[in-house]
């Protein structure tokens, strides 16, 4: 089922999420979030963006260039962030039309629970690392605009508000 995506500045996008509990409702939510992400189209979607204030996000960094590789990350936990940073452009399905230049770690190690209930760990690099950090921010009530200086934020919003 396609879910409506909240638009910034909806206050729910600024609230930290609660731990997720893996049950049938959460499995259904994850399936709907993937469907909604692919339809948007996007490469990542967090639960608060569809108004579910739980620590869960979905992503697929491969599907626009090849076979789909859907990932569901429940209660993700950052184990390590690289000191090496990179600045890159990021869009957000909740802030359509805005591309923000955000600084992120080039790599991170994450631990999360999958839909099968198994806790797994992986090292994410490149676009997957950027996407995961963007979605992790959503779980803490942070959007790209919150990571910009006031000048950069005004510039990023200028095109949209004009």
Residue among 33, 67, 73 nearest 49 (CA): 33
**Residue whose tokens read 């790209």:** 144
Smallest gap from residue 132 Cβ to Zn ion (A): 12
What residues form DSSP beta bridges with 80? 109
Q: Which of 92, 102, 108, 145 contacts Zn ion by CB under 5 A?
A: 92
Encoding tokens for residue 142? 């942070």
Residues in the chain: 162
Q: Closer CB to Zn ion, residue 15 or residue 121?
A: 15
Find the catalytic residue in 84, 103, 121, 135.
Answer: 135
Question: Residue 20 corresponds to which tokens in the numbers above?
Answer: 């997720």
Residue nearest to Zn ion (CB): 92
Give the nearer residue to Zn ion in terms of CB position, either 22 or 99.
Answer: 99
Do 76 and 111 touch, CB atoms closer than 8 A? yes
Extract the tokens encoding 63.
């599907």
Task: Tell me whether residue 57 or residue 112 sits nearer to Zn ion (CB atom).
Answer: 57
Q: Which is nearer to Zn ion, 24 or 146 (CB)?
A: 146
Q: What is the distance between the alpha carbons of residues 66 and 43, in angstroms, rounded to a whole number? A: 13
Task: Find the part of the chain contacting Zn ion (CB under 5 A) among 29-37, 73-81, 89-97, 148-156.
Answer: 89-97
Scan for tokens 């731990």, then name that residue: 19
Residues 20-59 that bind Zn ion (CB under 5 A): none
Is 103 catalytic? The answer is: no
Shortest spacing between CB 119 and Zn ion, in angstroms: 25
Active site residues: 135
Q: Which residues bind to Zn ion, rule: CB under 5 A?
A: 92
């Amino acid at each position: 089922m396609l879910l409506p995506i909240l638009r910034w500045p909806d206050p729910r996008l600024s609230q930290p999420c609660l731990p997720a509990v893996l049950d049938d409702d959460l499995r259904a939510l994850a399936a709907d979030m993937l469907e909604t992400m692919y339809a948007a189209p996007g490469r990542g979607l967090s639960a608060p963006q569809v108004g579910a204030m739980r620590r869960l996000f979905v992503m697929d960094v491969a599907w626009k260039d090849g076979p789909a590789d859907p990932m569901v990350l429940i209660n993700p936990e950052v184990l390590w962030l690289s000191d090496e940073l990179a600045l890159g452009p990021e869009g957000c399905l909740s802030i359509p039309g805005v591309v923000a230049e955000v600084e992120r770690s080039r790599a991170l190690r994450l631990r999360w629970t999958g839909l099968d209930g198994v806790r797994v760990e992986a090292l994410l690099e490149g676009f997957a690392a950027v996407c995961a950090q963007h979605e992790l921010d959503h779980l803490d009530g942070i959007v790209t605009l919150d990571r910009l200086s006031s000048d950069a934020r005004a510039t990023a919003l200028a095109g949209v508000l004009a």
